[in-house]
Amino acid sequence: MEKNNRVGYTRPYSFNLSLAMKLTTILLILSIFTVQANSYSQKTKLTLNLERVPMQKVFEEIESLTDFKFLYDNKKIDAEKLVSVKVKHRTISEILDNLFKDTSIYYLVRHKQIVLKIHPTAIPAKSKEESVIIEELKLPQNIVKGTITDDKGQPLPGANIVEKGTTNGVTADFNGSFSITLTEESPILIISYIGFSTQEIAVDGQTELYISLKEDSASLDEVVVIGYGTQSKRNVTGSISKVDMETTENLPITNITQSVRGRVAGVQFTDNGRPGQNGTMLIRGPLSLSGDNSPLIILDGIFFNGSMADVNPNDIESLEILKDASATAIYGSRAANGVILITSKKGITDKPTIRINHFSGISEWSKKVQLLTPERYIQKTLDARTQFGREGDPDKITEYLTFSEAENYRNGVITDPWDEISQFSNINSVDLNLSGKTDLTNYFLSFAAINEKGLILNDNQKRISARVNIENKVTDWLTIGTNATFVKRDLSGNPADPDTAYHASPFGTWYHENGEPKMQGYVDEDNLFSNAVWTATKTENEEIYHNLFANFYGIIDIPFIKGLKYRFNYSPNYRWQHNYNFVPINTNIDSNTSSARKFNRQDFDWVVENILTYNKQINENHGFDITLLYGRNHFGWESTTAKAVQLSMDFSGWNNLAVGNVLTNESSASATDGISSMVRLNYRLKNKYLLTLTARRDASSVFAANNKYSTFPSGAFAWIVSDEPFMKNISFVDNVKFRVSHGSVGNQAINPYQSLTMVSSSPLYVFGNSGSSSIGSIPNNLGNPDLKWETTYSSNIGMDFELFKGRLSGAIEYYDMKTEDLLVRRSLPFASGYRSVLANLGATTNKGVEVTLNTQNVKNTNFEWNSNLVFSTNKNRIEHLYRSDVDGDGKEDDDIGNGWLIGQPINIAYDFVFDGIYQEGEELPPGHQPGYAKFKDLNGDGSVDPANDRTVLGQTGEPKVRLGIGNTFRYKNISLSFFVNSMLGWLSEFPGYRPAYRFGTLRPWNFFDSQWWTPENRSNERPSFTYDNPLGHEFHESRDFVRLQDVSLSYDFESNTLKKSGIQNLRLYLSGRNLITLTKWPGTDPETGGLHNEFPVPRTVSVGFNIEF
């Protein structure tokens, strides 16, 4: 069909969809097909230079430069009429209005279609040869001069003037004056100066400019998410940290929580680096002894119970962390451990924008645990035999090795177990999103895919995700929308086990002669450990997780009452997963070890919320806003497991369990329901005295009938002292705000039904001497009808500040938190018939200081250097436990069995104090010999025993100090950033230091090479092989580290260079993670506490690009 014969319209296609899909489709239609093209036509500006061309050529040119298409009847519209169009930066509406002036043609704009029609009363048309000249092109002035001052008229020497879209820029002189030669047709100048708001000035033919910059209070005026709404950072009274997502956009991040690692004061995120794993997060230290210490996750305003690995980092606009009671109290019973607020992206530009983010990277082991080399393995064998009184002649080593080891030794066959279980590790990620907005509709659509291969054989992840965020203004008073995401994570495959590989002899045999891996062991004569490669390559596994999360909402601006809004949220979350495992029949062995297993689980959660907000500025001095909430929530799941062992045939894998000789199955289910109500008042006096009062009342089915409801109040006050008259003469102070808060929050992190006595099926029971067997039920725990929430009372004092025209900014916090009614499983006497009961008892405290500093070190036209520092320290302490004093010493008893000591942190190393190794010639305690470990006699009674000579060696669960330092350098279009993460003042036990199970040193096992004592090598750190650890102690090592965690180098192409290809922005980058780690920790990683036999942490280098159309 020819271009000028465009007549008629296409009818929309009709779909037969489920109710949920229909709703999503309707919202998509509202966002995409109700786009206000009129608005677009009025804002999109074009430059045309066409002389004596058919009118049709003008239409074609507009179509090539925009998304519009022209529709008209060529029998009525004379498209061959010759016209001349010379315009510069004019809207489509302006071009068409002039083009059709004095003609009978008029136009309508419908969904990016421009429909041409004829007036009923025709105006005589001009001849075809007559040209229409709309506007002559005008060239811009090349040189612009100007002066830059502050709002008081004082010059700003060194202010930066840059022509937008280019690197063309100058710096103002001592008098604030400048002169710049422009290169663009329609130039815009960007004026910036440290401590002042940046301005964009359109030249519009001017040759001399006088520009006044206003002081910048951007950091305090920044909008942050506070839960059930947003607020200017200036008006925030609680402790809230906002993560700058731009700092990590050039890094190979696959989990949103990796953006937090080391970058937020008071927050400890531990990431083991494995594909698809979630990591752990701790905010302001551990509070509970046996309850969950994980923070509450809120995604787009709704409780999120899925894995953080389900969230695509490229979909996220902002991430806020709520720390104190004033900020977290709005979430009541689930907020004791802090709250993480995640907000996904929306459209920000009128014209649809397409973005593509892609990176590819390769990884290697950041550290390999040092096992015995073949030479050291031989020496171990000789020394162990000698120490146990056996012959240890190096010339007879083949007699001491097993037969298969000796064969490999003679043939020079050596196997490195770490190399054997490794694979080529790489990651590929691509993210595509489309976003935009109009006067009525806002939309963000995305699709992302990740393919990640870990360091260990068969440790992989494939993830795909899609997101649809749509909001449509139906009327002036009604807005509807949805935020929906779907994620599929495929973790299929059984990875090789580093623990079994750890014990493999360097002279072991991993494979049969036919090339298949052995199933059991590496040495035929000693098969204690299974073959790590066999599990990874011969077994089958399918482990897949799905997550469909959505929030459908409506917002009503109540007519006739300005500032009053009602919002309704309905958020369903459906998650389903399965884990299928298959072990085939092994033809290389006689026994049948085959098995198949299928596990399926479904979760369905929903949240319904009614939120009423009212915002009122009474007069110049008084303003307030109030938020009311009433909602319900439900969390439930069910699972089924079926297993078959000793399969008679294995060709059907897990799909025919009936062929197993032994079949077992089990099922389980759980449900939790809750009710919530909340009120929050924010009051502003003269915009510098700020008050927040919050109360939330929650009910949860997990607690006993006597304590299902609880109320959590909080209050906070803030004073913007920099607005006081007495501060105006202190020139270096820009903004200073003091904050103080106190309140309570709860922790319901226990499983359902824990307050009830639960029953389980018993083994078969025979009634009488010859009766038939029966299955019965027996109670397996003692219920507690008084079980209730843990409650944390939190006080916080903080200061936010900006100094020296914004060059120095940050925050300082001090907090004091006390958690009471701890949920603890307490032991019971055997006579009770039960082992333990879950009860509320004990208390813990956390006190700490947090410091965040941001500096602008250098900023001029071509070069910029910014730094940031985060520092935090937390002191955790158990205040009391059972209130018992069994020994009558006047002090509350410790719980030594659980390692809980009054006055000490929850997680500690309580052990003997290592004092070296007994050497030959020293006086030895009874039962000891040279080469045994020596410990300090703390009470000086001449002997070392567990009751009197153990003490606290240090804390293990968290460091005493967390420190992070980042720097960003920019030179023209090149940026370089790096971040150093450090944790100091903690330790952990390291089992790799132990002797290898005493007589295990005589077996064909490998282990960590930590040296050992011999009469020739008198180590004072590690004992001999004969040491049998009579005191049952552990060896400990510091986990202190300093790590170059992130490095990124990027280049941004100039926009005027990209315009010719239709690209708006393009960035290329090179980045690295975990590049250098300084530590004494001998395991795989000090941050995760990875031991000698665990998964390694990757060192990753990646390249990528961000492109925007």
**What would the two tokens of residue 321 be?**
């962390």
| Same-domain status, 682 and 563 | yes
Contact 907, 999 (CB under 8 A): no
pLDDT the model gives residue 838: 83
Strands 267-270 and 339-344: unpaired
Domain boundary among 168, 192, 216: 216
Angle between helices 92-99 and 55-65 (to 10 degrees): 180
In terms of domains, do 649 and 687 share one? Answer: yes
Separation between Cα atoms, residue 429 and residue 35, nearest integer Å: 31
CA dist 553 and 513 (Å) reads: 64
My answer on whether 612 and 646 are in the same domain is yes
- Final residue in a domain of this structure, among 85, 102, 118: 118
Looking at residue 31, what is its pLDDT?
40
Same-domain check for residues 47 and 160: no
Q: Which amino acid is located at 430 in the chain?
A: V
Q: What phi and psi, each to the nearest 5 degrees, are found at residue 505?
A: -65, 140
> Is 248 domain-assigned?
no
Q: Which residues are registered as beta bridge partners of 593? A: none
Domain CATH number, residue 108: 3.55.50.30
Q: Based on the domain organization, do 558 and 673 belong to the same domain? A: yes
* 350 domain-assigned: no
Residue 27 has what pLDDT? 40
Judge whether 224 lies within some domain: no
* pLDDT at 765 (0 to 100): 67
CA separation, residue 519 to residues 291, 529, 593, 645, 911 (Å): 40, 9, 10, 17, 39
Nearest by Cα to 360 from 455, 425, 427, 314: 427
* 925, 941 Cβ separation under 8 angstroms: no
- Given this model, what pLDDT does residue 868 score? 94
Q: Which long-range contacts (CB under 8 A, 24 or more apart) does 651-656 make?
A: 653/540, 653/580, 653/582, 653/596, 654/540, 654/580, 654/581, 654/582, 654/596, 654/597, 654/598
Digit-coded pLDDT (tens) for 263-306: 999 999 888 778 888 878 899 999 888 777 889 899 998 989 88
Domain of residue 181, CATH code:
2.60.40.1120
Dihedral sign, Cα of residue 78, residue 81, residue 83, residue 88: positive
State residue 34's pLDDT score: 38
* Same structural domain, 588 and 637: yes
- The pLDDT tens digits of the residues spanning 121-132 come to 544 444 444 445
Residue 533 lies in a domain: no
Where is the domain boundary, 651, 667, 701? 701
Domain with 96, as residue range(s), is 35-118
Q: Which helix (H) or strand (E) holds 405?
A: helix 403-411
Place of tokens 């007549």: 7
Q: Are residues 103 and 149 in the same domain?
A: no
Q: Give the pair of three-digit tokens for residue 1009.
A: 């090479």
Enumerate residues 6+ apart whose C-beta is below 8 A from 1016. none
| pLDDT (0 to 100) of residue 689 | 94
Q: Which of 105, 89, 110, 84 is nearest to 97 (CA)?
A: 105
* Residue corresponding to tokens 């061959």: 80
Question: Residue 604 to residues 306, 464, 469, 640, 1067: CA-CA distances in angstroms?
Answer: 11, 21, 21, 15, 41
The answer to whether residue 795 sits within a structural domain is no
Read off the pTM: 0.79
Domain check: are 52 and 190 in the same one?
A: no
The answer to whether residue 41 sits within a structural domain is: yes
Q: How far apart are CA 961 and CA 875, in angstroms?
A: 10
Decide: 180 and 143 in contact? Cβ < 8 Å. Answer: yes
Q: Which residues of the chain have pLDDT under 70?
A: 1-44, 110-111, 120-141, 194-195, 216-222, 749, 762-772, 995-1000
Q: 148 with 113, same domain?
A: no
Asked if residue 906 is part of any domain, the answer here is no
Tell me whether residue 564 is in a domain.
yes
CB atoms under 10 Å from CB of 363, counted, come to 24
Q: Are 899 and 910 within 8 A, CB to CB?
A: yes
Q: Are residues 555 and 697 in the same domain?
A: yes
pLDDT of residue 770: 64
Total domains in the chain come to: 3
Burial of 419 (0-12, 13-18, 19+ CB in 10 A): exposed
Q: Are residues 104 and 164 in the same domain?
A: no
Largest CA distance in the chain: 123
The verdict on 52 and 188 lying in the same domain is no
